[in-house]
Structure 1
Amino acid sequence: MKTTDNSGKKRWRPSWKGVIITLLVGSNIILIRIIEALFYKGQSLENEISRWKLSSAKTKKQLCVNINEKPAECTVCPGGWLWHRENCYYFSSGGDRRTWKESREVCEVMGADLLVIEDPQQGEFINKSIKQQRDGKFWIGLYRDGDGWRWVDGHLYNPGLLQISEEYSGDCVWQEAGSGYNKDDCLSKHSWICQKRSLKI
């Protein structure tokens, strides 16, 4: 819009309509750019989520010890531990031998405790696993408590589940493949078996 100033010269002065139209067009362009950026960012985010899911599935397949069971569940044991049903088992090796109490302390540091035999199937799994170890005698979590025998988890000894040999004497029990469960002085030094619940992810 043209106007005349005091000197008589004509000067251009913008009209409010023009300013509003310019602002609307400019803001529309900015809004379109923002929408485009969000759209491409959304696609990028979807791609990242897809990549993460694929990577997660690969990691799960590498870590899970029960991959053939329910696909929604994954059971994990620490490296160097054996998995059986709901538990992880660690068999000490390399000639490291300790007293019963020292063995239990090592297990506790690893978030575990000495082995507790809960049923015949577990006992059979442990016996087969011991046969594959170089060391022969392993402390387990059975000890004399007063006049009776007790497991480290507090359960009483069940002679129907396993028999402690009377060949030796002592207040702690070790297991050896082929010779069963034997008593020994708790200060004797043997290998040991730790047990803890497996982690489900």
Structure 2
Amino acid sequence: MLQLSVVSLQQEELLLAGSPDNSGKKLWRPSWKGVIMTLLVGSNIILIRIIESLVYKGRSLENEISLLRMNITQSSADQLRRMMEIRKQLCLNTGEKPDGCTLCPDGWLRHRENCYYFSSVREYRTWDESREVCEEMGAHLLVIEDREQQEFINRSINQQTDIKFWMGLYRDGDGWRWVDGGHYDTSLLQISEEYSGDCVWWEADSGFDKDDCQYKHNCICQKRALKI
């Protein structure tokens, strides 16, 4: 048994060192340590190449982002400059300060922060129809807010005599209310109780009065002016 063990050990040493072939030359057999070292070196080389590629792509992407930001910044600056020029021209035409102003659409009158539209002679509508038309234009029927505004509207109406204009005051239950939800202030206007009706109109010669909401008159629309 001892002799067999010695022989086995000698054979293993021969395999590790290389065994001779039939011609008497030793055959080379790589050891497991060499194979592992070769694999490790190859893996490191591949990993280095991958990292280099990712770094290069990252730098390229960063450069593209920087260029895109520069273009956006330049474009925004050009647009802002153009907008400032347009605002300057528009505000100079209104006689207000060149650093900003309030504007109204064509055909509307501006007073302080509001715009007003007086429908033409042939635009006869019921009170509900007039309310809908104003809302379609982003406005509401006229709401009297203070005495100065009331005087402005009165001056504008005096230029269109004998025309009745629906305004935004209507009967809500037992009281009167404006279309914007505000309560009726008797100090600004007085509604006559001589005639029946649930909707109020304004006429240059007759002042304020109520009428059947189904009657057709002109109307006055009101909305906030555009600030630029």
Per the normalisation by structure 2, the TM-score is 0.61
Deviations 1:13-34 (A, max 9, x none): xxxxxxxxxxxxxxxxxxxxxx
Alignment of 1:51-66 (within 5 A): 52=82, 54=85, 56-62=87-93, 65=94
Q: Which residue of 2 aligns with 1:96?
A: 123
Query: Would the alpha carbon gap of residues 55 and 143 (structure 1) be closer, same or farther in structure 2, given more than 3 Å must change?
Result: closer
Which residue is 2:13 aligned to?
A: none
- What residue number does 2:168 align with? 141
After superposing the two structures, state which structure 1 stretch, 105-114 or 156-165, moved more.
Answer: 156-165
Higher strand content, 1 or 2: 1
In structure 2, the partner of 1:170 is 197
In 2, Cα distance between equivalents of 1:110 and 1:137: 21
Structure 2 regions of 5+ residues with no counterpart? 1-74
Query: Aligned runs of 1:175-190 on 2, under 5 Å?
Result: 175-190=202-217
2: distance between equivalents of 1:55 and 1:146?
Answer: 49
Offset of residue 55 of structure 1: 5.2
Secondary structure class of the residue paired with 1:149:
strand
**Residue identity (%):** 66
RMSD: 2.2
Contact 2:142 2:220 (C-alpha < 8 Å) held by counterparts: yes
Q: Which amino acid aligns with 1:170?
A: G
Deviation at 1:81? 0.1
Tell me the matched-pair count.
151
Asked whether the 8 Å contact 2:121–2:218 carries over to 1, the reply is no
**Which residue does the alignment assign to 2:219?**
192
Q: TM-score, normalised by structure 1?
A: 0.69
Aligned pairs (5 A) from 1:104-115: 104-115=131-142
**Residues 127-157 of structure 1, C-alpha deviations (whole Å, 9 max, x = no match):** 1101112661000000000000000011111
- Partner residue of 1:161 out of 188, 204, 212: 188
The reply to whether residue 75 of structure 1 matches residue 108 of structure 2 is no
> In structure 2, what is the Cα distance between the partners aligned to 1:180 and 1:169?
16
Distance in 1 of aligned mates of 2:203 and 2:90 = 36
| CA displacement, residues 62-114 of structure 1 (integer Å, 9 cap, x when unaligned) | 3xx4x23x442210100000000110000000311000000000000000000
- The CA deviation string for residues 28-54 of structure 1, in whole angstroms up to 9 with x for no partner, is xxxxxxxxxxxxxxxxx9xx79x8455
Q: Unmatched 5+ residue regions in structure 1?
A: 1-44
1:129 aligned partner, one-letter code: S
More helix by share: 2
Match of 1:127 in 2: 154
CA distance in structure 1 between the aligned counterparts of 2:145 and 2:199, rounded to whole angstroms: 18
Larger radius of gyration: 2
